[in-house]
A = this chain, B = another copy of it.
Amino acid sequence: MKLEGLSILGQTRVTTAGKPNAAINPATGAVIGPDFFWATTADVDAAAQFAAKAFVEFSRWPGRRREGFLKRIAELLEADAAAIVERANQETGLPVARLQGELARTYVQMRQYGEAAASGLCAGARIDHADPNRKPQPKPDLRSMMVPLGPVVVFSASNFPLAYSVAGGDTASALAAGCPVIVKPHQGHLGTSELVALVVQQAVRDCGAPEGIFSMLYGAGREVGIALVKHPLVKAVGFTGSRAGGRALMDAAAARPEPIPVYAEMGSINPVFMLSGALNHKAEELAAGLHGSVTLGVGQFCTNPGLIFVERAAAAKSFLQKLENLTASTPPGTMLTADLCSAYRAGVEKFSKATGVHRAVTVDAEAGEGKAQAGAALFVTDAVTFLGNHSLMDEVFGPSTLVVECSSREQMLAAAKKLEGQLTATIHGTPEDFAASRELIETLANKAGRLVCNAFPTGVEVCHAMTHGGPYPATSDGRSTSVGTRAIERFVRPVCFQNFPDAALPDELKESNPLGIWRLVDGKLARAATPS
Protein backbone atom coordinates (compact mmCIF):
# COMPACT_ATOMS: atom_id res chain seq x y z
CA MET A 1 0.00 0.00 0.00
CA LYS A 2 1.42 3.32 -1.05
CA LEU A 3 0.91 6.18 1.39
CA GLU A 4 -0.56 9.40 0.02
CA GLY A 5 -0.74 11.50 3.20
CA LEU A 6 -4.35 12.44 2.49
CA SER A 7 -7.44 12.23 4.62
CA ILE A 8 -10.03 9.57 3.88
CA LEU A 9 -13.66 10.42 3.23
CA GLY A 10 -15.63 7.20 2.82
CA GLN A 11 -14.20 5.56 -0.29
CA THR A 12 -12.45 8.70 -1.54
CA ARG A 13 -9.33 10.67 -0.61
CA VAL A 14 -9.36 14.35 0.25
CA THR A 15 -7.21 16.44 -2.07
CA THR A 16 -6.02 19.56 -0.37
CA ALA A 17 -3.86 22.57 -1.06
CA GLY A 18 -2.60 23.20 2.48
CA LYS A 19 0.98 23.11 3.69
CA PRO A 20 2.59 19.69 4.14
CA ASN A 21 3.31 18.09 7.54
CA ALA A 22 5.98 15.51 8.32
CA ALA A 23 6.03 12.20 10.15
CA ILE A 24 9.09 11.95 12.43
CA ASN A 25 11.12 8.98 13.69
CA PRO A 26 11.46 9.78 17.42
CA ALA A 27 14.56 7.57 17.78
CA THR A 28 16.52 9.63 15.27
CA GLY A 29 14.55 12.81 14.70
CA ALA A 30 14.55 11.98 10.98
CA VAL A 31 11.62 12.83 8.71
CA ILE A 32 9.81 9.84 7.18
CA GLY A 33 7.85 10.39 3.97
CA PRO A 34 5.41 11.11 2.51
CA ASP A 35 4.06 14.59 3.23
CA PHE A 36 0.79 14.63 5.14
CA PHE A 37 -1.95 17.22 4.54
CA TRP A 38 -4.47 18.55 7.05
CA ALA A 39 -8.18 18.47 6.32
CA THR A 40 -10.29 21.64 6.31
CA THR A 41 -13.51 22.56 8.09
CA ALA A 42 -15.28 21.90 4.75
CA ASP A 43 -13.96 18.33 4.96
CA VAL A 44 -15.29 18.10 8.51
CA ASP A 45 -18.75 19.04 7.28
CA ALA A 46 -18.52 16.58 4.38
CA ALA A 47 -17.48 13.71 6.66
CA ALA A 48 -20.25 14.47 9.16
CA GLN A 49 -22.90 14.69 6.43
CA PHE A 50 -21.61 11.46 4.95
CA ALA A 51 -21.69 9.72 8.33
CA ALA A 52 -25.22 10.91 9.09
CA LYS A 53 -26.40 9.63 5.71
CA ALA A 54 -24.69 6.27 6.24
CA PHE A 55 -26.20 6.01 9.73
CA VAL A 56 -29.69 5.59 8.26
CA GLU A 57 -28.67 2.26 6.70
CA PHE A 58 -26.01 1.21 9.22
CA SER A 59 -28.36 1.59 12.17
CA ARG A 60 -30.58 -1.04 10.49
CA TRP A 61 -27.82 -3.62 10.37
CA PRO A 62 -28.45 -6.52 12.73
CA GLY A 63 -25.72 -7.30 15.28
CA ARG A 64 -24.54 -10.30 13.27
CA ARG A 65 -23.84 -8.16 10.25
CA ARG A 66 -21.91 -5.65 12.34
CA GLU A 67 -19.93 -8.58 13.71
CA GLY A 68 -19.06 -9.66 10.17
CA PHE A 69 -17.76 -6.19 9.40
CA LEU A 70 -15.61 -6.00 12.56
CA LYS A 71 -14.22 -9.47 11.87
CA ARG A 72 -13.34 -8.46 8.34
CA ILE A 73 -11.37 -5.49 9.70
CA ALA A 74 -9.55 -7.89 12.05
CA GLU A 75 -8.70 -10.26 9.19
CA LEU A 76 -7.36 -7.48 7.00
CA LEU A 77 -5.27 -6.03 9.84
CA GLU A 78 -3.82 -9.48 10.39
CA ALA A 79 -3.03 -9.81 6.69
CA ASP A 80 -1.24 -6.45 6.65
CA ALA A 81 0.42 -6.89 10.04
CA ALA A 82 4.02 -6.77 8.84
CA ALA A 83 3.67 -3.45 6.98
CA ILE A 84 1.64 -1.85 9.77
CA VAL A 85 4.08 -2.90 12.50
CA GLU A 86 7.08 -1.78 10.47
CA ARG A 87 5.66 1.68 9.94
CA ALA A 88 4.50 1.99 13.55
CA ASN A 89 7.97 1.03 14.75
CA GLN A 90 9.51 3.80 12.64
CA GLU A 91 7.01 6.41 13.78
CA THR A 92 6.77 5.64 17.50
CA GLY A 93 10.05 4.02 18.54
CA LEU A 94 8.03 1.23 20.17
CA PRO A 95 9.69 -2.20 19.78
CA VAL A 96 8.42 -4.55 17.09
CA ALA A 97 7.44 -7.25 19.59
CA ARG A 98 5.35 -4.78 21.58
CA LEU A 99 3.64 -3.56 18.40
CA GLN A 100 2.91 -7.12 17.30
CA GLY A 101 1.29 -7.73 20.66
CA GLU A 102 -0.65 -4.51 20.41
CA LEU A 103 -1.90 -5.36 16.92
CA ALA A 104 -3.03 -8.77 18.19
CA ARG A 105 -4.94 -6.97 20.92
CA THR A 106 -6.53 -4.81 18.23
CA TYR A 107 -7.89 -7.91 16.42
CA VAL A 108 -9.07 -9.37 19.73
CA GLN A 109 -11.04 -6.21 20.49
CA MET A 110 -12.62 -6.10 17.03
CA ARG A 111 -13.71 -9.73 17.31
CA GLN A 112 -14.83 -9.54 20.92
CA TYR A 113 -16.94 -6.41 20.43
CA GLY A 114 -18.35 -7.93 17.22
CA GLU A 115 -19.40 -11.03 19.16
CA ALA A 116 -21.00 -8.83 21.82
CA ALA A 117 -23.00 -7.07 19.10
CA ALA A 118 -24.09 -10.37 17.54
CA SER A 119 -25.00 -11.99 20.85
CA GLY A 120 -27.38 -9.21 21.84
CA LEU A 121 -25.37 -8.62 25.04
CA CYS A 122 -25.47 -4.86 24.53
CA ALA A 123 -29.02 -4.72 23.17
CA GLY A 124 -30.43 -4.67 26.71
CA ALA A 125 -33.76 -5.99 25.41
CA ARG A 126 -36.64 -5.74 27.89
CA ILE A 127 -40.25 -6.78 27.50
CA ASP A 128 -43.14 -6.04 29.86
CA HIS A 129 -46.30 -7.71 28.59
CA ALA A 130 -49.67 -6.01 28.54
CA ASP A 131 -52.34 -6.66 31.14
CA PRO A 132 -55.67 -5.50 29.71
CA ASN A 133 -57.46 -6.42 32.96
CA ARG A 134 -55.33 -4.36 35.31
CA LYS A 135 -57.20 -1.78 37.40
CA PRO A 136 -57.60 1.17 37.43
CA GLN A 137 -55.86 1.38 34.02
CA PRO A 138 -55.03 -1.47 31.62
CA LYS A 139 -51.29 -2.07 31.35
CA PRO A 140 -49.85 -1.51 27.86
CA ASP A 141 -47.26 -3.74 26.16
CA LEU A 142 -43.83 -2.11 26.51
CA ARG A 143 -40.56 -3.26 24.93
CA SER A 144 -37.25 -1.46 24.93
CA MET A 145 -33.75 -1.92 23.61
CA MET A 146 -30.57 0.02 23.00
CA VAL A 147 -30.10 1.81 19.69
CA PRO A 148 -26.99 3.59 18.36
CA LEU A 149 -26.54 7.32 19.04
CA GLY A 150 -25.33 8.38 15.59
CA PRO A 151 -21.96 9.52 14.18
CA VAL A 152 -19.07 9.29 16.68
CA VAL A 153 -15.77 11.18 16.50
CA VAL A 154 -12.72 9.26 17.76
CA PHE A 155 -9.47 10.99 18.76
CA SER A 156 -6.56 8.54 18.64
CA ALA A 157 -4.14 8.04 21.51
CA SER A 158 -0.43 8.65 21.01
CA ASN A 159 0.64 5.80 23.27
CA PHE A 160 -1.30 3.00 21.61
CA PRO A 161 -0.76 3.60 17.88
CA LEU A 162 -2.82 0.51 17.07
CA ALA A 163 -5.07 -0.60 19.95
CA TYR A 164 -6.34 2.93 20.79
CA SER A 165 -5.93 4.53 17.42
CA VAL A 166 -7.69 4.41 14.04
CA ALA A 167 -9.13 0.88 14.42
CA GLY A 168 -8.71 0.76 18.19
CA GLY A 169 -11.06 0.36 21.12
CA ASP A 170 -13.18 3.47 20.63
CA THR A 171 -13.67 2.80 16.91
CA ALA A 172 -14.45 -0.87 17.52
CA SER A 173 -16.98 -0.12 20.25
CA ALA A 174 -18.71 2.64 18.27
CA LEU A 175 -18.99 0.44 15.16
CA ALA A 176 -20.20 -2.49 17.28
CA ALA A 177 -22.92 -0.18 18.64
CA GLY A 178 -23.96 0.70 15.07
CA CYS A 179 -22.47 4.20 14.96
CA PRO A 180 -20.48 5.59 12.00
CA VAL A 181 -16.97 6.76 12.99
CA ILE A 182 -14.86 9.75 11.99
CA VAL A 183 -11.28 9.41 13.27
CA LYS A 184 -9.00 12.36 14.05
CA PRO A 185 -5.64 10.53 14.10
CA HIS A 186 -2.75 11.45 16.38
CA GLN A 187 0.12 13.36 14.79
CA GLY A 188 2.61 10.94 16.33
CA HIS A 189 1.86 8.11 13.88
CA LEU A 190 0.45 9.61 10.70
CA GLY A 191 1.55 6.86 8.31
CA THR A 192 0.42 4.05 10.60
CA SER A 193 -2.95 5.76 10.76
CA GLU A 194 -3.20 5.86 7.00
CA LEU A 195 -2.31 2.16 6.64
CA VAL A 196 -4.96 1.17 9.18
CA ALA A 197 -7.57 3.51 7.69
CA LEU A 198 -7.04 1.93 4.28
CA VAL A 199 -7.73 -1.46 5.87
CA VAL A 200 -11.01 -0.21 7.31
CA GLN A 201 -11.89 1.38 3.98
CA GLN A 202 -11.29 -2.01 2.33
CA ALA A 203 -13.49 -3.78 4.89
CA VAL A 204 -16.29 -1.28 4.16
CA ARG A 205 -16.09 -2.28 0.48
CA ASP A 206 -15.83 -5.98 1.21
CA CYS A 207 -18.91 -5.95 3.44
CA GLY A 208 -21.07 -3.71 1.27
CA ALA A 209 -21.35 -1.18 4.08
CA PRO A 210 -22.52 2.38 3.39
CA GLU A 211 -19.26 4.19 2.73
CA GLY A 212 -19.87 7.10 5.08
CA ILE A 213 -19.55 4.86 8.14
CA PHE A 214 -15.80 5.49 8.22
CA SER A 215 -13.73 8.57 7.51
CA MET A 216 -10.39 9.78 8.84
CA LEU A 217 -9.41 13.45 8.86
CA TYR A 218 -5.84 14.55 9.47
CA GLY A 219 -5.50 17.85 11.28
CA ALA A 220 -4.66 19.82 14.37
CA GLY A 221 -6.80 19.27 17.47
CA ARG A 222 -7.62 22.94 17.87
CA GLU A 223 -9.01 23.30 14.34
CA VAL A 224 -10.21 20.02 12.84
CA GLY A 225 -10.72 18.38 16.24
CA ILE A 226 -12.88 21.11 17.73
CA ALA A 227 -14.79 21.54 14.46
CA LEU A 228 -15.65 17.83 14.55
CA VAL A 229 -16.85 18.04 18.15
CA LYS A 230 -18.99 21.07 17.37
CA HIS A 231 -20.61 19.64 14.24
CA PRO A 232 -24.37 19.29 14.82
CA LEU A 233 -24.53 15.85 13.16
CA VAL A 234 -21.91 14.39 15.51
CA LYS A 235 -23.54 12.67 18.49
CA ALA A 236 -20.65 11.46 20.73
CA VAL A 237 -16.89 11.69 21.14
CA GLY A 238 -14.17 9.25 22.24
CA PHE A 239 -10.75 10.55 23.24
CA THR A 240 -7.56 9.29 24.87
CA GLY A 241 -4.91 11.85 25.79
CA SER A 242 -4.03 14.68 28.12
CA ARG A 243 -6.24 16.28 30.72
CA ALA A 244 -6.01 19.68 29.02
CA GLY A 245 -6.95 18.18 25.65
CA GLY A 246 -9.81 16.13 27.06
CA ARG A 247 -11.20 19.04 29.04
CA ALA A 248 -11.15 21.29 25.95
CA LEU A 249 -13.31 18.74 24.13
CA MET A 250 -15.64 18.35 27.13
CA ASP A 251 -16.12 22.11 27.31
CA ALA A 252 -16.74 22.41 23.57
CA ALA A 253 -19.28 19.57 23.67
CA ALA A 254 -21.08 21.00 26.72
CA ALA A 255 -21.36 24.43 25.08
CA ARG A 256 -23.03 23.12 21.89
CA PRO A 257 -26.67 24.06 21.26
CA GLU A 258 -27.21 20.28 21.65
CA PRO A 259 -24.63 19.05 24.19
CA ILE A 260 -23.23 15.57 23.46
CA PRO A 261 -21.38 13.02 25.57
CA VAL A 262 -17.57 13.04 25.55
CA TYR A 263 -15.73 9.94 26.73
CA ALA A 264 -12.24 11.22 27.45
CA GLU A 265 -9.63 9.01 29.11
CA MET A 266 -7.19 11.58 30.45
CA GLY A 267 -4.64 9.61 32.43
CA SER A 268 -3.99 8.85 36.03
CA ILE A 269 -1.15 8.37 38.51
CA ASN A 270 -2.40 4.92 39.53
CA PRO A 271 -1.47 4.81 43.21
CA VAL A 272 -0.01 1.62 44.68
CA PHE A 273 -0.34 0.81 48.38
CA MET A 274 2.34 -1.45 49.83
CA LEU A 275 1.04 -2.82 53.13
CA SER A 276 3.42 -3.98 55.84
CA GLY A 277 2.59 -7.68 55.68
CA ALA A 278 3.34 -7.87 51.97
CA LEU A 279 6.50 -5.81 52.36
CA ASN A 280 7.83 -8.03 55.12
CA HIS A 281 6.95 -11.12 53.14
CA LYS A 282 8.51 -10.27 49.77
CA ALA A 283 10.10 -6.82 49.68
CA GLU A 284 12.53 -7.48 46.84
CA GLU A 285 9.99 -9.27 44.68
CA LEU A 286 7.63 -6.31 45.07
CA ALA A 287 10.39 -3.87 44.15
CA ALA A 288 11.20 -5.85 41.00
CA GLY A 289 7.57 -6.09 39.98
CA LEU A 290 6.97 -2.41 40.57
CA HIS A 291 10.08 -1.41 38.66
CA GLY A 292 8.93 -3.50 35.71
CA SER A 293 5.53 -1.80 35.76
CA VAL A 294 6.97 1.74 36.08
CA THR A 295 9.44 1.34 33.21
CA LEU A 296 7.32 -0.85 30.90
CA GLY A 297 7.15 0.78 27.47
CA VAL A 298 9.25 3.70 28.77
CA GLY A 299 6.50 4.44 31.27
CA GLN A 300 4.03 5.42 28.58
CA PHE A 301 0.93 3.62 29.81
CA CYS A 302 -2.23 5.28 31.16
CA THR A 303 -1.99 2.77 33.99
CA ASN A 304 1.66 3.50 34.83
CA PRO A 305 2.09 3.55 38.64
CA GLY A 306 3.31 7.06 39.45
CA LEU A 307 2.69 7.12 43.18
CA ILE A 308 3.71 4.41 45.68
CA PHE A 309 2.60 4.53 49.32
CA VAL A 310 4.88 2.41 51.50
CA GLU A 311 3.75 1.47 54.97
CA ARG A 312 6.22 1.47 57.86
CA ALA A 313 7.64 -2.06 57.94
CA ALA A 314 10.87 -3.85 58.84
CA ALA A 315 11.49 -4.60 55.17
CA ALA A 316 10.53 -1.17 53.78
CA LYS A 317 14.18 -0.15 53.60
CA SER A 318 15.24 -3.17 51.54
CA PHE A 319 12.23 -2.61 49.23
CA LEU A 320 13.34 0.94 48.58
CA GLN A 321 17.00 -0.02 48.19
CA LYS A 322 16.14 -2.67 45.62
CA LEU A 323 13.89 -0.22 43.74
CA GLU A 324 16.73 2.35 43.66
CA ASN A 325 19.21 -0.19 42.35
CA LEU A 326 16.88 -1.40 39.62
CA THR A 327 15.96 2.15 38.59
CA ALA A 328 19.61 3.21 38.44
CA SER A 329 20.44 0.31 36.12
CA THR A 330 17.55 0.98 33.70
CA PRO A 331 18.75 1.88 30.22
CA PRO A 332 17.18 5.02 28.68
CA GLY A 333 14.37 4.46 26.19
CA THR A 334 12.88 6.26 23.20
CA MET A 335 9.64 8.07 23.96
CA LEU A 336 6.82 8.33 21.42
CA THR A 337 7.48 11.92 20.42
CA ALA A 338 9.99 14.65 21.18
CA ASP A 339 7.20 16.73 22.73
CA LEU A 340 6.29 14.00 25.20
CA CYS A 341 9.97 13.64 26.06
CA SER A 342 10.33 17.37 26.74
CA ALA A 343 7.26 17.26 28.98
CA TYR A 344 8.77 14.27 30.81
CA ARG A 345 12.04 16.10 31.40
CA ALA A 346 10.13 19.12 32.72
CA GLY A 347 8.16 16.89 35.10
CA VAL A 348 11.32 15.25 36.44
CA GLU A 349 12.87 18.69 36.87
CA LYS A 350 9.83 19.89 38.81
CA PHE A 351 9.90 16.93 41.20
CA SER A 352 13.67 17.34 41.62
CA LYS A 353 13.13 20.84 42.94
CA ALA A 354 10.08 20.12 45.12
CA THR A 355 10.61 20.87 48.81
CA GLY A 356 10.83 17.77 50.96
CA VAL A 357 11.19 15.44 47.97
CA HIS A 358 14.39 13.39 47.70
CA ARG A 359 15.66 12.66 44.19
CA ALA A 360 16.76 9.07 44.74
CA VAL A 361 17.69 8.25 41.12
CA THR A 362 17.54 9.97 37.75
CA VAL A 363 19.06 8.12 34.84
CA ASP A 364 20.81 10.35 32.30
CA ALA A 365 19.66 10.23 28.71
CA GLU A 366 20.98 11.89 25.60
CA ALA A 367 19.22 15.20 25.06
CA GLY A 368 19.15 17.49 22.04
CA GLU A 369 17.00 18.53 19.09
CA GLY A 370 14.79 15.74 17.78
CA LYS A 371 15.97 13.25 20.40
CA ALA A 372 13.28 11.59 22.47
CA GLN A 373 15.44 9.58 24.90
CA ALA A 374 14.16 9.38 28.49
CA GLY A 375 15.87 7.98 31.60
CA ALA A 376 14.00 6.48 34.54
CA ALA A 377 13.54 8.52 37.72
CA LEU A 378 12.70 7.69 41.34
CA PHE A 379 11.68 10.22 43.99
CA VAL A 380 11.00 9.68 47.68
CA THR A 381 9.05 11.77 50.17
CA ASP A 382 7.08 11.36 53.38
CA ALA A 383 3.33 11.43 53.86
CA VAL A 384 3.32 14.79 55.64
CA THR A 385 5.06 16.45 52.68
CA PHE A 386 2.73 14.67 50.27
CA LEU A 387 -0.38 15.75 52.15
CA GLY A 388 0.84 19.35 52.12
CA ASN A 389 1.64 19.67 48.42
CA HIS A 390 -1.17 19.04 45.93
CA SER A 391 1.17 19.29 42.93
CA LEU A 392 2.84 16.02 43.96
CA MET A 393 -0.26 14.35 42.50
CA ASP A 394 0.51 15.73 39.03
CA GLU A 395 1.09 13.05 36.42
CA VAL A 396 4.60 12.78 34.97
CA PHE A 397 4.02 10.80 31.78
CA GLY A 398 7.06 8.53 31.47
CA PRO A 399 9.26 6.16 33.56
CA SER A 400 9.18 8.16 36.81
CA THR A 401 7.55 7.38 40.14
CA LEU A 402 7.23 8.94 43.59
CA VAL A 403 7.46 6.84 46.75
CA VAL A 404 5.61 8.21 49.77
CA GLU A 405 6.73 6.75 53.09
CA CYS A 406 3.85 6.48 55.55
CA SER A 407 4.45 6.09 59.27
CA SER A 408 1.10 4.39 59.86
CA ARG A 409 -1.89 2.91 58.07
CA GLU A 410 -3.95 5.90 59.23
CA GLN A 411 -1.57 8.21 57.42
CA MET A 412 -1.86 6.02 54.32
CA LEU A 413 -5.64 6.23 54.56
CA ALA A 414 -5.46 10.02 54.89
CA ALA A 415 -3.38 10.12 51.71
CA ALA A 416 -5.84 7.83 49.92
CA LYS A 417 -8.71 10.13 50.85
CA LYS A 418 -6.87 13.08 49.30
CA LEU A 419 -6.43 11.43 45.89
CA GLU A 420 -8.25 12.59 42.78
CA GLY A 421 -10.12 10.15 40.50
CA GLN A 422 -7.90 7.36 39.11
CA LEU A 423 -8.05 4.66 36.46
CA THR A 424 -6.61 2.15 38.92
CA ALA A 425 -5.55 1.73 42.52
CA THR A 426 -3.39 -1.19 43.63
CA ILE A 427 -2.97 -2.83 47.01
CA HIS A 428 -0.24 -5.29 47.94
CA GLY A 429 -1.01 -7.13 51.13
CA THR A 430 -1.37 -10.46 52.89
CA PRO A 431 -4.86 -11.80 53.66
CA GLU A 432 -4.41 -10.26 57.14
CA ASP A 433 -3.51 -6.88 55.59
CA PHE A 434 -6.68 -7.02 53.47
CA ALA A 435 -8.88 -8.03 56.38
CA ALA A 436 -7.62 -4.98 58.29
CA SER A 437 -7.99 -2.56 55.35
CA ARG A 438 -11.71 -2.36 54.70
CA GLU A 439 -11.79 1.45 54.88
CA LEU A 440 -8.80 1.76 52.56
CA ILE A 441 -10.42 -0.56 50.01
CA GLU A 442 -13.73 1.32 50.21
CA THR A 443 -11.97 4.66 49.85
CA LEU A 444 -10.10 3.46 46.78
CA ALA A 445 -13.25 1.92 45.26
CA ASN A 446 -14.67 5.42 45.45
CA LYS A 447 -11.69 6.93 43.67
CA ALA A 448 -10.83 4.41 40.96
CA GLY A 449 -12.33 2.35 38.15
CA ARG A 450 -10.26 -0.77 38.91
CA LEU A 451 -8.73 -2.09 42.13
CA VAL A 452 -5.79 -4.42 41.70
CA CYS A 453 -4.72 -6.88 44.39
CA ASN A 454 -1.15 -8.15 44.60
CA ALA A 455 -0.36 -7.39 40.97
CA PHE A 456 0.48 -4.27 38.96
CA PRO A 457 -1.90 -1.98 37.10
CA THR A 458 -0.18 -2.01 33.70
CA GLY A 459 -1.82 -4.59 31.46
CA VAL A 460 -5.52 -3.99 30.80
CA GLU A 461 -7.38 -7.19 29.95
CA VAL A 462 -10.00 -6.88 27.19
CA CYS A 463 -13.01 -8.70 28.65
CA HIS A 464 -16.58 -8.30 29.85
CA ALA A 465 -15.70 -7.41 33.45
CA MET A 466 -12.97 -4.84 32.74
CA THR A 467 -13.40 -1.22 33.80
CA HIS A 468 -10.86 1.09 32.23
CA GLY A 469 -12.34 4.28 33.52
CA GLY A 470 -12.72 6.07 36.81
CA PRO A 471 -13.96 9.32 38.33
CA TYR A 472 -12.85 12.68 36.94
CA PRO A 473 -10.11 13.71 36.20
CA ALA A 474 -9.02 10.17 35.22
CA THR A 475 -11.84 10.29 32.70
CA SER A 476 -14.56 12.73 31.70
CA ASP A 477 -17.25 10.28 32.74
CA GLY A 478 -16.71 7.78 35.55
CA ARG A 479 -19.87 5.93 34.52
CA SER A 480 -18.06 4.45 31.52
CA THR A 481 -15.19 2.20 30.49
CA SER A 482 -13.12 2.45 27.32
CA VAL A 483 -11.93 -1.17 27.45
CA GLY A 484 -14.06 -4.33 27.43
CA THR A 485 -17.51 -5.01 26.02
CA ARG A 486 -19.09 -2.42 28.33
CA ALA A 487 -17.33 0.19 26.19
CA ILE A 488 -20.05 -0.39 23.58
CA GLU A 489 -22.68 0.90 26.04
CA ARG A 490 -21.19 4.39 25.72
CA PHE A 491 -22.66 4.80 22.26
CA VAL A 492 -26.25 3.64 22.69
CA ARG A 493 -29.48 4.87 24.23
CA PRO A 494 -32.74 3.10 25.10
CA VAL A 495 -35.84 3.32 22.92
CA CYS A 496 -39.19 1.95 24.06
CA PHE A 497 -41.97 0.65 21.81
CA GLN A 498 -45.49 0.73 23.22
CA ASN A 499 -48.24 -1.54 21.85
CA PHE A 500 -46.37 -2.05 18.58
CA PRO A 501 -47.49 -4.71 16.11
CA ASP A 502 -44.99 -7.57 16.22
CA ALA A 503 -44.13 -7.15 12.54
CA ALA A 504 -43.07 -3.54 13.09
CA LEU A 505 -40.77 -4.36 16.05
CA PRO A 506 -37.00 -4.86 15.72
CA ASP A 507 -36.06 -8.57 15.81
CA GLU A 508 -34.57 -8.11 19.28
CA LEU A 509 -38.05 -7.38 20.63
CA LYS A 510 -40.27 -9.70 18.58
CA GLU A 511 -42.35 -12.05 20.69
CA SER A 512 -40.79 -15.19 19.16
CA ASN A 513 -37.24 -14.03 20.05
CA PRO A 514 -35.90 -14.94 16.58
CA LEU A 515 -32.34 -13.95 17.56
CA GLY A 516 -32.37 -16.19 20.65
CA ILE A 517 -30.91 -13.41 22.81
CA TRP A 518 -31.21 -12.94 26.58
CA ARG A 519 -34.01 -10.52 27.45
CA LEU A 520 -35.58 -9.24 30.65
CA VAL A 521 -39.15 -10.47 30.23
CA ASP A 522 -41.63 -9.33 32.87
CA GLY A 523 -38.72 -8.82 35.24
CA LYS A 524 -37.05 -12.20 34.63
CA LEU A 525 -34.08 -12.93 32.40
CA ALA A 526 -35.06 -15.36 29.68
CA ARG A 527 -33.66 -16.58 26.41
CA ALA A 528 -36.37 -18.95 25.24
CA ALA A 529 -39.12 -17.69 22.98
CA THR A 530 -41.82 -16.18 25.15
CA PRO A 531 -45.28 -17.78 24.89
CA SER A 532 -47.54 -15.63 22.74
Contact = CB atoms under 8 A, between A and B. Distances in A.
For this chain, the copies found in one complex come to 2
A225 interface: no
Contacts of A503: 431, 434-435
A99 interface: no
Interface in A221-267: 250-251, 254-255, 258-259, 261
A101 B144 CA distance: 25
Contact of A501 (B142, B143, B453): B453
A216 to B, nearest CB: 25
Nearest to A104: B136
Interface in A365-386: none
Interface in A463-518: 463-467, 469, 471-473, 476-481, 486, 492-501, 503-504, 518
A459 interface: yes
Contact of A142 (B149, B454, B461, B495): B461
Contacts of A27: none
Contacts of A172: none
Given A453-B501, A503-B434, A504-B434, A448 B495 contact: yes
A81 to B, nearest CB: 16
Contact of A461 (B128, B255, B449, B523): B128
Contacts of A495: 445, 448-451, 467
Contact of A465 (B101, B126, B486): B126
30 contacts: A56-B442, A121-B520, A126-B464, A127-B465, A137-B459, A140-B459, A142-B461, A143-B465, A144-B466, A149-B478, A150-B446, A250-B254, A251-B254, A259-B476, A434-B501, A441-B504, A449-B493, A449-B494, A450-B497, A451-B497, A453-B499, A453-B500, A455-B498, A465-B520, A467-B494, A467-B496, A471-B493, A479-B492, A479-B494, A480-B493
Given A128-B466, A261-B477, A434-B503, 5 more contacts: A142-B465, A150-B446, A445-B495, A453-B499, A464-B520
